[in-house]
Each structure stands twice: as structure tokens, then as C-alpha cells.
A and B are shown apart, each in its own frame.
Chain A
Amino acid sequence: MFDIEHYFEAKSVEEAVRLLSEHEDAEIICGGTDVLVKLRDGKGAGGSLVSIHEIPSLRGVRVLPDATLEIGPATCFTDLTNHPLIQKYLPYLGEAVDTVGGPQVRNQGTIGGNICNGATSADSAATMQTLNAVVVLVGPGGVRRVPVTEFYTGPGRTVRQHDEVCRAFEIKPEDYVGFTGCYMKYGKRAAMEIATLGCCVRVRLDDACSRIEETRIGYGVAAPTPIRCRNTEAALAGKSVEDESIYELIGTSVLDEVNPRSSWRASREFRLQLISELAKRALKEAIRRSLNHEAPGAAVPGEERR
């Protein structure tokens, strides 16, 4: 028996917003793999829950008319990894969420919770940073869109207001077309582990596949919130993919843009070493995938149903 005062089952996003507005002590629950674990530990005990678990419209992945990919926040990690649109256009995001916990947790836990919890260690966070994902929030005053790069305000804190519900994540075509990527997680075990460090590197090469046109570098646990390394991204632009010095460049340059801490999981020094090493490896793999012609074109509306 969980220590909660009231439980409300919302049938729609609008109803969830209304319930949250009416009950200041209420928290949103979706997959439950974080909220219920915290409740077990006494955090948030005695409060109320507004469940959005049974709202089917919050699940799945769709293509919008302008080729934007729309990810439903209540999509569980397993469904995301296996979704044909994710496998075709954002395979590195599917790989990233396939490293969360274990299979049963991935069958329940959702990408919406992973982002809205505000955890820097969330396995989807580094990749979502590099995708410039837009968080669509619905509140009593209507809809607002917040870039995920401006979403976090501190450890476990985001700009989402208490009575706002995440309705979708939007990934625009300019943020995925032509890009390959790679997410690397370091944990002491291969499963059931929270990331000691997570790094996502994505590249877009020129038509001849000889030079880097654009790089995106995202980290989890390299700072109090998930971050991007924009100076390093800029420094890599125009570099030849055959130039071996790019790996030294990325491994050194990112160190000026991160601020990891020491925790019981790992020391700051070890995290700095991981930050440098994982970036090199992820860049190498992302380039290999581009050279292997794995970069996708633009998605077509309705294609998931064909």
C-alpha cells in the first residue's frame, strides 16, 4: 500500500491539468517507475497522485505535416526502441533508452517521466539535448513550447509548472535529417544501473561524406543538468573525417564546458576522464555510421501506417 492521500485517474490531458490545478499536493504519475520508488522511500508521502497512465493519445510516435517527429511522452522505453519511426530516423535515441534499468522497467517507464523528472542522469537526456527537442506543455492558460535546452533549471528542477502536463516532444527535421549519432553510457554494471555518465554525439557530414558539417554533443551527469557543448561543436565544423586530430580535439575541448561533481557513484576526476573518452568513442561511431550511409532523410506524414 502506497502512502498517498488521493488518487485521480485522468482520462484526458485537459482533465489532468484541471485535477492538478485543484489539488496542490498532487503529483503526476505515468509509468510509476520513479514516482512509486520515491513514495516507497517516503518522498512525497501523504500527497496525491494524478495518473496519466490510461491516456492512449499520449503514446506513440507520429510524423507531423512539416516532417517534425512527435513523440508521445507516455511512450514506454521498450515501445520507443522498437518503434519503426524511431529505428529509421532516431535510432540513437532508441539505443539510449534501451540502457534504462532492466526490461520490466523499460516496459513501464516513459520518456516523458525521464525528461520531466529533471534528472541529469536520465538516459534520454543527453540525446534529447542534441535533438533540440521541444517540450510541449499544456497548462490552465493553454499550450506553450519550451526547447529542452532551456527546460532544466537545476538538479531535479524544470520550468514545468505544477499544473502543466507534457503533451509531446517535437523533433524538427533540421535536427535529425542527415544526422547519425551514438549514445554511450558508463555504469558499473551492464543493467539496472543509473548512468555514472552519459554522452551523445551526433554528426552531419557533407554530401561527399568527407567533412563534418555539424556536430552536436550532449551530456548527462557532466553538470547539475543535462548540457550541450556548443564551443566544441563549433570547433569541429568543417573538419575532415579522416583527420585523426578531431578525436583529441573533442576529448580536450569538452572539458572546458562541463562541471561534473563527485558523488558516491564516482569522483569528479573519474567523470572528467569519462567525459573525454566517451566523446571520442561516440564521435568515432557516429562518423562510422555516417560513412556507412545510415543518415536518414525527412520523414513522410502518415508513413508509420503504411
Chain B
Amino acid sequence: MLKIVHMWVNGNEVELAVDPRESLVETLREKLNLTSVKKGCGVGECGACTVLIDGVAVDTCLYLTMWADGKHILTTEGLKGPNGELNPIQQAFIDEAAVQCGFCTPGLIMTAVEIVGTGRKYTRTELRKLIAGHLCRCTGYENILNAIEKVAGIDS
């Protein structure tokens, strides 16, 4: 039986009829075509499906769409500025060559947006812990950390 879910996705009000068995990653990809949200491990280990729900980074493979009712969802698609500008985190990922295959990138960018959103500055050790919920199999994390450090790191 379908149920109605009312939520805000990237600033837009959305009302959808969803199957209560659906995970949020399925709804975002298949019903709303937000394909920046990647389906990776499906068990909360890789972080590829990370989005912000009310500002908090969550693995959407382990999140029932039913729970999103009344909440604000932000995906990488929602980071674009009014004139198509990139978010400073996205620009930093480009500048630091923090992307290879790109599969982990949207999730990592959303976690970075959450980190920046706290308004605090972090040491590299703290940043390592904060991105520990993401697996990247290409870059070895150094360039990713360089990019996040550029925006949220303590000035050295």
C-alpha cells in the first residue's frame, strides 16, 4: 500500500506516494532522478549514498523514506548557486584533484558541507575521523582531505 510523504528536497516542496519498504536512496534516485546519490554497499559502510537530512549526514541506504516526512533533504544537486556556481567545497575538490572515478565524491561532498556548516575549523586528525564513514578506492584520501582542509581546516 502506498503512503504519502511530504518533504523538501533541495529547497523544493515534494509530495510523493511511496512504498513503505523503500529506502531513501531508492526514492531519490528512481522517483526524483537525483542520481548524485550513489547506491554502494547498501549496509551503511561506504557512505556513497550520504545526503543531509535536516543538516545531518545520513546513509540513505539505511533510511526508510517514510521517516523523511516533514524533513529537509539536501543532495549534491542542491548545492548549485542561483547562477549555476559551484559550492566552495565542490570547487576545492576540483582545485585539489580530489576526484578520480567520482563514485564516492557526492557523498564526501555532502559530509564536507555538513562539516563546513558547523562553522568550526578542524585539524587534519579531526577531519580524518569526520570522513571515516566514506570509502574511496581511488585517491587514497589525501587529496580529499586537502580539499576539505582548504575550506574547513585550521589555518596553518
Contacts and interface: CB of A to CB of B under 8 A. Distances in A.
B57 interface: yes
Interface stretch (B7-15, B61-69, B88-96): B61-69
Interface residues of A, number: 26
A9 B132 contact: no
Interface stretch (A32-40, A246-254, A274-282): A32-40
B43 A104 contact: no
Contact of B132 (A7, A51, A192): A192
Interface size class of B (residues with CB under 8 A): 20 to 34
Contacts, number: 83
A162 interface: no
Interface string A53-94: 110000000000000000000000010000000000000000
Contact of B58 (A1, A2, A51, A104): A104
A300 interface: no
Contact of B63 (A3, A32, A78): A32
B19 A37 contact: no
A77 to B, nearest CB: 12
Given A2-B23, A191-B132, A104 B67 contact: no
A160 B131 CA distance: 36
Given A33-B44, A101-B133, A103-B130, A51 B57 contact: no
A157 B99 CA distance: 45
A266 to B, nearest CB: 20
B111 interface: yes
Given A37-B43, A105-B133, A32 B56 contact: no
B117 interface: no
A78 B23 CA distance: 22
A104 B23 contact: no
A103 B132 contact: yes
Nearest to A189: B132
A104 B133 contact: yes
Interface of A: 1-4, 7, 9, 29, 32-33, 36-37, 40, 51, 53-54, 78, 101-105, 107-108, 190-192
Given A1-B26, A29-B64, A104-B111, 12 more contacts: A1-B23, A9-B66, A32-B62, A33-B62, A36-B64, A54-B69, A78-B56, A102-B45, A102-B132, A102-B134, A104-B50, A104-B133
Lowest 10 CB-CB distances: which A-B pairs, in order? Answer: A102-B133, A191-B132, A7-B20, A104-B133, A104-B59, A103-B133, A102-B132, A37-B43, A36-B62, A2-B21
13 contacts: A32-B63, A33-B62, A37-B62, A40-B42, A51-B67, A102-B132, A103-B129, A104-B47, A104-B57, A105-B133, A190-B132, A191-B132, A191-B133
